Structures are given as C-alpha cells and as structure tokens.
C-alpha cells in the first residue's frame, strides 16, 4: 500500500503515520520528493482494510497495491476450476455449456414443452425462474415452490440439470433440493447475507454481476461465498448500466477475458439480459465464445408473445437452433467442444 501525503503535511503527521504502520506490523519505506512525500507500507494489506489510515491528518490518499480478493484469484489457484454437475456435465472445462429456458416457469405445460425441445437440441442445463425479482410489485412474481416442482419434473423427464434463482436465503435449502445450480441475481450480488448463506451449502452457485458492479466487486462477492467453504462458484457477465439506451444493458465483453485472467472460476455469458433484443443475442453469444467464455445462458420461449416476463428478449426455438449451429461451427476454431 502506498500512502501519498498532502503537499503541506508536517513532519509530525508523516511520523504519526509511520508509527501507525509499524504498530500494525507492516514495514514503512519513506520517499521524500520535492513536491510530495510517499510512504510504501510493505506487509499484509488486509490489515489496513481493517485499520484504515486514509483519514489520518496529512494523508492525501492511500493506493492499494495488491488485489483485495484472495480465494477467487488466479494467483491463489492457477488451474481452472471445473464444476461437475454429474452425468458428464462439467462447467469450466473444454466443453462450452449452454443454459437455456424460459425467463419464468409459467405453467407445467409450457415448461415441459420447452424442456423437451431444448433437450432435443442437445442443451444440458435448463434455466427457469420460480422466484422472480421484478422492478415492479405489480409484475408477475413467479410460481414459487410450485414452479420448483415443475422444474424438478422437467429434470426427471429429460435428465437435464436445472438452474434457478434464490432471492431469499430462507428458501435456499428448499430450492437446493430441486435445482443443481443456485443462481444469485444481479440485484442481489451484494446481498452479503445471501452470499454467506449460500457459501455454507455445497450446491454450485452462479453469481451474476450486478448491473453497476465493477469486475473487482464481482470477485469480492464471489470471495464471500468461497470464504464460507463453498468452492463451486461460477461467474456470470450479464451487462452493466450505461447511458446507451439501444440495449437493456451494455454487455461488457472485456469482462470475459479479464475474469478468466484474474480468476480461476468459470465464466458464463448472459446475452439475453445484457441486450434485451432477440436479434442481438446470437452475435453476442458467438462473441462471448470467441472471447473465452465457458458457456452462455439464453432465454428461449416457444410462445414469447404469451410470456409473462421478458418476452421481447426471448429467442424462439428455431432461431435458437440456428444459433446453436453457428456456435458448433465456431467452437473448434477457438479450441472448444460443444
């Protein structure tokens, strides 16, 4: 950590900070320049997280040098984390995994029909919301436990794995019975109680990036889960909030290689929520594969015009199948199977 002093900091103020650094067990290195005095604090930076010095008199700013996350970092674990869901479905390996399904479980018929179609296309992970986080309390909020049972039935019939969102930590054990992957939505990425609760289960978790969260904040949120003992975490880029109104959010393609570089955790791309426009989803899915993502999550609906949520961003089965063909053509050229 580097401490930059104000141009008018007194010698006493500088020595007070040096004293504090030494007291905390770090070793201080002072550099006095014409315009500024700098102090390098060498040692465990986490000590300074808990005992900040940036408010000491004479200090202009404190610049951290090390990354604030540890368990999520590539420095901590060099090899890629793979998450084995059983039956040969492994997220984070060479195979590019597709998660697809409706925004929400709306009925038994709808869900089973889509599941059968997707299973026929070779998709191995079914997505579907039973508990839906909606901006408005007047929008459809999901079928709840009944929705979970429908997902479980689809799982049994097709052999697909199931991913669904947890909104309330109290529901987690029940949801974990019916789903193979627990999803933490973008709006809950910094719901630290929820993160810690899912960290205590051993069920795989997919953590979606908050729409206003930095890449570093995403990795710190993952750290909350890992720290509690659950190593089965996958990260999901789903677009961030920007001034651009053409898309629902702005898909941050650079986040894919950066997350793969900084962390060992698998990275999934969600072009549906990121773009909100059906025709933009396939090119962004292809781009995500080319940029190194380990999989994608896509909303597919057989009757989007009747969908109770996000119909406009759902892809129909036919264009979804076309997209799969393109992904299959692309995969070998970037070293992937699918």
- Residue whose C-alpha is closest to residue 274's, from 293, 258, 296: 296
> In angstroms, what is the minimal distance from the CB of 291 to its own copies?
4
38 versus 90: smaller Cβ distance to its own copies: 38
161 versus 336: smaller Cβ distance to its own copies: 336
88 versus 137: smaller Cβ distance to its own copies: 137
> In angstroms, what is the minimal distance from the CB of 274 to its own copies?
7
Residues with Cβ within 8 Å of 207's Cβ and at least 6 positions away in sequence, in order, are 184, 189, 195, 218, 221, 222, 225, 233, 234, 235, 236
> In angstroms, what is the minimal distance from the CB of 60 to its own copies?
9
**Which residue(s) pair with 181 in the sheet?**
163
Instruction: Report the alpha-carbon distance of residue 112 to residue 150 in Å, rounded.
Output: 8
> In angstroms, what is the minimal distance from the CB of 87 to its own copies?
29
220 versus 235: smaller Cβ distance to its own copies: 220
130 versus 253: smaller Cβ distance to its own copies: 253
Question: What size, in residues, is the chain?
Answer: 338
- Residue whose C-alpha is closest to residue 117's, from 315, 331, 329: 315
What's the farthest any 2 CA atoms get from each other in the chain? 76
50 versus 156: smaller Cβ distance to its own copies: 50
**Which residue(s) pair with 162 in the sheet?**
126
> In angstroms, what is the minimal distance from the CB of 79 to its own copies?
17
> In angstroms, what is the minimal distance from the CB of 268 to its own copies?
15
Instruction: Report the alpha-carbon distance of residue 66 to residue 17 in Å, rounded.
Output: 20
- Residue whose C-alpha is closest to residue 155's, from 109, 124, 183, 196: 124
Identify whether the C-beta of residue 178 lies closer than 8 Å to the C-beta of residue 152: yes
146 versus 192: smaller Cβ distance to its own copies: 192
160 versus 323: smaller Cβ distance to its own copies: 323
Angle between helices 215-227 and 192-200 (to 10 degrees): 40
> In angstroms, what is the minimal distance from the CB of 94 to its own copies?
16
Residues with Cβ within 8 Å of 61's Cβ and at least 6 positions away in sequence, in order, are 3, 4, 54
- Residue whose C-alpha is closest to residue 70's, from 54, 49, 92: 49
> In angstroms, what is the minimal distance from the CB of 278 to its own copies?
8
């Amino acid at each position: 950590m580097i401490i930059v002093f104000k141009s008018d900091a007194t010698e006493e103020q500088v020595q007070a900070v040096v004293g504090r650094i030494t007291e905390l067990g770090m070793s201080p290195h002072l550099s006095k320049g014409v315009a500024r005095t700098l102090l390098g604090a060498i040692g465990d930076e986490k000590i300074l997280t808990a005992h900040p010095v940036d408010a000491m008199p004479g200090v202009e700013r404190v610049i951290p040098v090390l990354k604030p996350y540890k368990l999520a970092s590539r420095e901590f674990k060099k090899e890629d984390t793979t998450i084995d869901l059983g039956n040969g479905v492994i997220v984070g390996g060479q195979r590019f995994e597709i998660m697809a399904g409706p925004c929400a479980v709306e009925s038994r018929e709808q869900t089973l029909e889509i599941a059968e179609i997707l299973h026929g296309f070779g998709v191995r992970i079914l997505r579907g919301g039973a508990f839906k986080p909606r901006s408005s309390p007047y929008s459809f909020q999901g079928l709840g436990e009944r929705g979970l049972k429908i997902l479980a039935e689809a799982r049994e019939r097709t052999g697909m794995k199931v991913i669904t969102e947890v909104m309330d930590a109290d529901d987690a054990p029940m949801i974990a019975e019916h789903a193979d992957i627990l999803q933490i939505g973008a709006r809950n990425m910094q719901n630290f109680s929820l993160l810690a609760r899912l960290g205590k289960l051993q069920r795989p978790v997919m953590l979606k990036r908050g729409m206003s969260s930095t890449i570093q904040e995403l990795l710190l949120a993952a750290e909350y889960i890992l720290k509690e003992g659950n190593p089965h975490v996958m990260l999901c880029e789903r677009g961030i909030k920007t001034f651009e109104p053409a898309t629902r959010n702005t898909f941050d393609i650079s986040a894919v290689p950066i997350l793969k570089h900084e962390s060992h955790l698998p990275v999934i791309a969600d072009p549906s929520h990121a773009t909100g426009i059906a025709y933009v989803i396939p090119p962004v899915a292809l781009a995500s594969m080319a940029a190194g993502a380990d999989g994608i999550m896509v909303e597919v609906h057989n009757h989007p015009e009747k969908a109770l949520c996000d119909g406009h961003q759902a892809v129909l089965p036919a264009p979804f199948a076309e997209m799969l063909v393109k992904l299959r053509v692309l995969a070998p050229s970037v070293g992937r199977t699918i």
